[in-house]
Chains A and B, each alone.
Chain A
């Protein structure tokens, strides 16, 4: 029973981290129609920049400065890269971001090498906040939860309650009208891209010490971010939150309980075959939940695409 509580907390941490990545991506997509393949690479850059800054100025300055650098880089990519490619259509844009992702990975390996960096949790937070039945919950995880929730609140406030947010929302659906009202829509695009990548940078800074700062970190997280925004509904902030938490809990629970497929079959009344060796469903019978935990989000995505193509909270018809 205690394990359930622990898993809820762990799943929440995973989910919120995923949310910070998918929030930026979903905003960028809904505004510009660009699937930014390099989004997870900005997450990686955040971790590496923060590691480098933390050597000189400590973790907290890293947390402050690294996302800003990443955001500025992101804005630069939009201004001088994507905007030029945009006129040639969506496919060149896709290829551009894809190439950018490869380029960033190579650059990171070139500068920092291929080893995992010793980017560690700051001393102040390196203690056990509390433990549940022998399972410690590190203070750093609590800190991660607070940072992510804070960012979600801030984002929600800016987007729904401020003038800037309203212009952004208007530019999402009617860019030409907003432009003819005298607003600088390209500037808004650049800003959103910058903020979106900066969010990915923040995620990288706080995830680097726990999930490891290594050149493969973008690759491991890359595809799952796209799955999240598809499940949540493209362009929906709430959708991204719901989908991230769903995926976080789904994978955490699937991994921490050894639920075997044979138990499920037995429970619904199908008995285990006597001779497993020549049974054509042998693989299906012997599979356990931790083994399929990582493909569960993809199964969920396929289901969503079949039964609710717009995503859980998506509004778009197309």
Chain B
């Protein structure tokens, strides 16, 4: 009951704030991601981080352009590309200029195409697409366009850094690749095969398989197959409940090797994996959480925990999105002319509070940053995930990963 009272008080308060904020001309960012369905937790946690980043980094510091606040407007896309396009249209009709989306490259592919088309047809109210997590390499290669900016390392960059760490393990002979059956899962698999065969030709890929996304009830049959293949290491790009399901069932079924992942942290995943996965799960990510990147980051994380005791900053790049966007808007002197803002973002160098320098590569709008490989553990953890005592401890870092990686992007500028 107490929780209920608190919740209703918060929602009443946010209504009041929402109503009063509507009078000022805020810079609105549409957040289009799943807020219901199987991946609701991933989407909701992302939303909380965006809302907090906007308040902490912009609004509490007096806003941008001499006092204009930023505001996140949430849209639920139910992880469906079709629904996302409807929500995108709603956002554009409300006069929103900035679109943030990250969960599922399938959705990102649809949005980037729709944004490109919209901007071509409506030069008067163009929008920018801030992609904070969709990592299909095509988005900054064949399908790249001037309006899309990616603030996360793409699947190729991540796999390059991850395999750098893997190939150093001498007794790793057999690798099994498993992922979700859509563009991202396929991109991870392709990158894994390419990198492993280039870096260690004695490593055998004993399995390469895709499973339906968000529909697998029980991963046990897959685990059995992986164990039967004799794999020494497993690579997966799974996220959300698919990651928990796969991780738990692998460990329970008796698999005893390491599991290399992209997204096995936060959103309840860390708590659900818990003790059983200690030292077994490794993941590639950006931003230094343990050990923390800076005192500012420590203060931010502490303030975030005070506001969302059940939440995590598991996507620190969201803070980079807001920081870089604010810097670009200041530099352009306007938030309405997105061409000028995009021009500022191109080639921007930004010092992240989560450690390291960020560089938005102008030729394909792919961010370049340090990549960390961390391990799921409860030792040396200052900021745990899901209040579980477990977190991700950085083990190795690849500086400015894939800075000179090639791109097939032929960007057309307005």
Contacts and interface: CB of A to CB of B under 8 A. Distances in A.
B221 interface: yes
Given A118-B272, A131-B254, A138-B252, A214 B224 contact: no
B369 to A, nearest CB: 27
A109 B221 contact: no
A13 B249 CA distance: 14
Contact of A115 (B41, B210, B220, B228): B41
A256 B221 CA distance: 5
B217 A215 contact: no
A220 interface: yes
Given A134-B254, A221-B217, A291-B210, A255 B268 contact: no
B280 interface: no
B224 A211 contact: no
A135 B227 contact: yes
A256 B37 contact: no
A212 B227 contact: no
A296 to B, nearest CB: 13
A263 interface: no
Contact of B221 (A10, A114, A115, A128): A10
A256 B225 contact: yes
Interface string B232-255: 000000000100110011001110
A219 to B, nearest CB: 7
A211 B248 CA distance: 9
Contacts of A6: 224
Given A221-B217, A252-B221, A294 B253 contact: no
B181 interface: yes
B241 A118 contact: no
A23 B220 CA distance: 24
Contacts of B36: 109
Contacts of B45: 115
A116 B269 contact: yes
A294 B212 contact: yes
A128 B254 contact: yes
Nearest to B228: A3
Interface in A21-47: none
A115 B386 CA distance: 9
A303 interface: no
Interface residues of A, number: 44
Size bracket, chain B contacts: 35 or more
A65 to B, nearest CB: 20
A251 to B, nearest CB: 8
A294 B271 contact: no
A285 B292 CA distance: 51
Contact of B268 (A117, A134, A220, A256): A117
Contact of A214 (B253, B268, B310): B268
Contacts of B272: 116-118, 212
Contacts of A290: 209, 211, 221-222
Interface in A208-228: 210-212, 214-216, 219-221, 224
A6 B253 CA distance: 10
B73 to A, nearest CB: 19
A135 B251 CA distance: 10
A89 to B, nearest CB: 30
A220 B217 contact: yes
A177 interface: no
B141 interface: no
A113 B41 CA distance: 8
Contact of A7 (B44, B221, B310): B221
A160 interface: no
B220 A252 contact: yes
Interface in A117-135: 117-118, 120, 128, 131, 133-135
Contacts of A3: 224, 228
A151 B40 CA distance: 34
A219 B214 CA distance: 10
Select the residue from A115, A257, A293 with max chain B CB neighbours within 10 A: A115
Interface string B12-46: 00000000000000000000000011101100110
A136 interface: yes
Contacts of A236: none
Contacts of A221: 217
A258 interface: yes
B76 to A, nearest CB: 12
Nearest to B181: A291
B388 interface: yes
Interface string B257-300: 00000000001110110100000000000000000000000000
B211 to A, nearest CB: 7
B221 A211 contact: no
A111 B45 CA distance: 16
A134 to B, nearest CB: 5
A294 B38 CA distance: 17
B248 to A, nearest CB: 7
B41 A214 contact: yes
Interface in B166-224: 181, 209-212, 214-218, 220-222, 224
B181 A116 contact: no
B268 A118 contact: yes
A255 B228 CA distance: 13
A120 B251 CA distance: 13
Contact of B254 (A117, A135, A255): A135
Contacts of B38: 214, 216, 219-220
Interface string A6-26: 110010011000000000000
Contacts of B209: 258, 290
A68 B88 CA distance: 46
Contact of B274 (A10, A120, A128): A120
A121 to B, nearest CB: 8
Contacts of A256: 221-222, 224-225, 228
B215 A220 contact: yes
B274 A118 contact: yes
Contacts of B44: 113-114
Given A135-B254, A291-B181, A210 B248 contact: yes
Interface string B95-119: 0000000000000000000000000
B241 A212 contact: yes
15 contacts: A3-B228, A10-B224, A114-B44, A116-B41, A116-B244, A116-B268, A120-B274, A134-B254, A135-B224, A210-B248, A210-B249, A211-B217, A211-B218, A252-B220, A255-B225
Given A115-B41, A211-B218, A255-B221, 4 more contacts: A118-B268, A134-B227, A219-B38, A294-B215
